[in-house]
Structure 1
């Protein structure tokens, strides 16, 4: 909506992870270095953790874009709370291995045969598991067992486990001791600092042709950092609303007053100011945002997650999450636009009345 007004080629603060917007902060560069180190080692597990919205999925997608498909066969799996047998079927499906009606033993043989043929063809197999904190303990153990597949002295499968902070606690449990022995590197992706937050905002704007319009005051940047706490997804959600408000107000400069106005509006919409971009929390009657919250609660239910995971090969949990985020964002933007128009209506009516008054 505001792109043309500011001379931009596209939306700079979209919530969906797009590798073309990857910003190499100090933490993101180090996390990427760990992943690339793991690729060089060609064995074991690499574990990356980080807060919700810290940029883990974007990091993974940026890595996948760098991979040479002639050398590496990569599978990206977004996990849910599933049984140990189901994780094997999801791994098989991610690599394109037919697994329907196979018993567990036959499934393991099929996966091993695929890995051997991949190695024989001069390629390597890489499994990336996103949202690893959702894995059950038995599912993690199955992944560890897959790392035992070898051809002579070469590991046939390497795995990257990417998850939220609670996955670190899971890794430290006594039952995970054998997996910990297979981890060759681990890194926790933290938030951006103030300088990185400003650089992140300017980087995303520059990716769509920003040339200083609108300009961001230093105090506005500081407030964006304070509210978002340096979490990229929260920065995106806040800055998108700020850009929209600047467009509606025909402003070419973003000041701290405008940022505070948007933060106040988000509070009124039941979005906690310290978790911009997170799930809205309804406090009154039925709200449009409550629909998204109910869906998120549904997905958090283990039984519901199991049913969704077994909904068939056409069901794509990643796409579902993206559509849910898009729905939340669209509803929020629409409500904000209506609010701005309603606020402007009385002033426009008064101006019209004055302009049409007969001269005395």
Structure 2
């Protein structure tokens, strides 16, 4: 609707993952590096987790576009509450292996024959499972068993497991010890920081021919970051509405006031999920809120956090990243709730002022 008005070739903030819009933030570049490292290893599991809307699916699609089909046969499976009875058939279907009416034993033989023939042809088989947190324990165990297929000393299948943060908790259960032993690398994809949020917005606009119209004030970008908490999908949803508001108001500049107006509308529409109960910072204590913001910046840079923690010999990186992910989720919920409380207070104050003026 607004594309022609601003001279854009297309819609810059669509929610559907499109690899042509991939933005390599620090976190996304590192996650991609882990995936590429896994490809070179040609064995085991790579685990990537992140919040809803963090860009995991886009990351996977960007990787798939970079793969050489003459060398790697890749299958992308999006799981939805899949149990062990279905996971093998879905894996077979993803690789194009006929599986109708096959018993489990015959299905396993068919998958193994496909993997052997793929390796014999000089190619490698890669299975990517998105939304892995929906897999049951038995389904995960079936995937682990597939990793046992070997030809001499070469693994026939490599798997990438991509899911929401709760998948990290699932993996820490005692029943998952054998899977954990097969994981060669894992990474949690965190939110963008303020500078990356600005660069992300400009990157998506530039992809469709943006020439600075509309311009974004610095305070407007801060408002986008505060509302979205650096989650790319939330940034897309908000920025799209801002562009629409600028078009309807015939504005060529996006101001902080415009962002505040749009975010207030989106809160009323419940576009951002309601947060859970939390202990908010005490009123009149800006130091606590500033501390949360500083902590959010620290969470955006895990390497700096490790340095601050005194990471050295004997440092348990996996445990540290697990605790960091938990802290990040808690902080995200807290900041979201604070933002909603501030918005409600502003609306109440505005109502009070209006009532006073009518008296």
TM-score for the superposition, normalised by structure 2: 0.76
Q: Is 2:185 the counterpart of 1:188? A: no
1:262-288 per-position Cα deviation (integer Å, ceiling 9, x unaligned): 11111222323778xxxxxxxxxxxxx
1:121 offset after TM fit, Å?
0.4
Equivalent in the alignment of 1:114: 114
Q: Determine whether 1:202 maps to 2:202.
A: yes
User: Distance between the aligned counterparts of 2:263 and 2:204, measured in 1?
Assistant: 21
Normalising to structure 1: TM-score of the pair?
0.76
Shift of residue 80, structure 1, vs aligned partner: 1.1
Aligned position for 2:236: 236
What's the CA shift string for 1:216-270, capped at 9, x where partnerless? 0000000000000000000000000000000000000000010011111112223
Write the mapping of 1:57-96 to structure 2, written as runs, cut at 5 A: 57-96=57-96
Per-residue CA deviation, residues 106-144 of structure 1 (Å, 9 max, x unaligned), is: 000000000000000000000000000000000000000
Stretches of structure 1 lacking an aligned partner (at least 5 in a row): 276-360
Q: Quick check: 1:179 aligned with 2:179?
A: yes
Q: Give, in whole Å, the separation in 2 of the partners of 1:238 and 1:176.
A: 39
Q: What are the equivalent positions in structure 2 for 1:98-177 lying under 5 Å apart? A: 98-177=98-177
Distance 1:273 1:131, change over 3 A: closer
CA contact (8 A) 1:78 1:130 kept: yes
Mapped partners of 1:63, 1:88: distance in 2: 24
Partner residue in 2 for 1:250: 250
Q: Which residue of structure 2 lines up, in the alignment, with residue 29 of structure 1?
A: 29
RMSD over aligned CA atoms reads: 0.9
**Paired residues for 1:47-58 under 5 Å:** 47-58=47-58
SS in 2 for 1:106: helix
> Is the 1:227–1:273 contact (alpha carbons within 8 Å) kept by the matching residues of 2?
no
Deviations 1:171-206 (A, max 9, x none): 100000000000000000000000000000000000
**Tell me, which stretches of 5 or more residues in structure 2 are unaligned?**
276-359
Q: Secondary structure at the match of 1:80?
A: coil
Q: Secondary structure at the match of 2:43?
A: coil
Between the two proteins, the alignment pairs up a number of residues equal to 275
Task: Say which SS state the counterpart of residue 69 (structure 2) adopts.
Answer: coil
Q: CA deviation at 1:85?
A: 1.8
Three-state SS of the structure 2 residue aligned to 1:181 is helix
Runs of 4+ displaced beyond 2 Å = 270-275
